[in-house]
With several copies, the nearest count.
Chain A
Amino acid sequence: MLAFARLRELFGFSSQSRALPNGATLATLWEQLVAERPDAAAMRPSTRFARNGVLAEETTALFDGDEIALMPPVGGG
């Protein structure tokens, strides 16, 4: 799991591995993260997820070895 920019600073990691229950989705993962850092809850509307380099909805199921990215609104250019 990768976190970028403001989310990286908020969660305190740029890369982290994590075990999830069977049937976990991106929503499951986000709930875990918010349980640890309640002030992250307000970031949910602006956060986008990617699974293996492709944008993904929070209903997306996760599998062993997936690379998940937590991304705030982009600011490139």
Chain B
Amino acid sequence: MIAVVEAPIALDALVAAVRTDACGAVVTFLGVVRATSAGDERPVDGLTYEAYPAMALSEMQVIATEARSRFDADVAIVHRTGALALGEASVGIAAASAHRGVAFDACEYVIDQLKLRVPVWKKEHYVDGDATWRANTIAP
């Protein structure tokens, strides 16, 4: 399951998409809207996500294929777009494998790469009424 959706992300569906009888471990990641953003002290009351859907899907598919070949893990990736309130999930990832170490590694690889490469943008809306497009910081 590789998808860009408007509706809330269902974690159970992500897990069901990757689990097989050969799996002993399923690791999931949810990125959720939090009350303050890194590098800005103003309280956030929501985010708006925008995607270039066709390219986002193809890049997410490439990342999923990389995860499978590097870690021998099956992954599902769903990114939500539109207006999200505090506490809602913007991205959901599930990684399943026979053993837990590779499931953790694959899940972390996918979110790290997604943040670097997938064409999705977010606008932070502050409680004071202001709003800013916020890019991901590149890890050193």
Contacts and interface: CB of A to CB of B under 8 A. Distances in A.
A2 B114 CA distance: 21
Interface string A1-23: 01011101000000000000000
Contacts of A74: 115-121, 135-136
Given A5-B133, A6-B133, A53-B58, A76 B52 contact: no
**Interface bin, chain A:** 10 to 19
Contact of B118 (A4, A6, A69, A76): A76
A75 interface: yes
A26 to B, nearest CB: 15
Nearest to B114: A77
B122 A72 contact: no
A45 interface: no
B50 interface: yes
B75 to A, nearest CB: 14
B54 to A, nearest CB: 5
Contact of A50 (B49, B116, B119): B119
A54 B133 CA distance: 23
Nearest to A2: B52
Given A2-B52, A4-B121, A71-B52, A77 B111 contact: yes
A65 interface: no
A73 interface: yes
Nearest to A69: B52
Nearest to A3: B52
Interface of B: 31, 49-52, 54-56, 58, 79, 90-91, 111, 114-123, 133-136
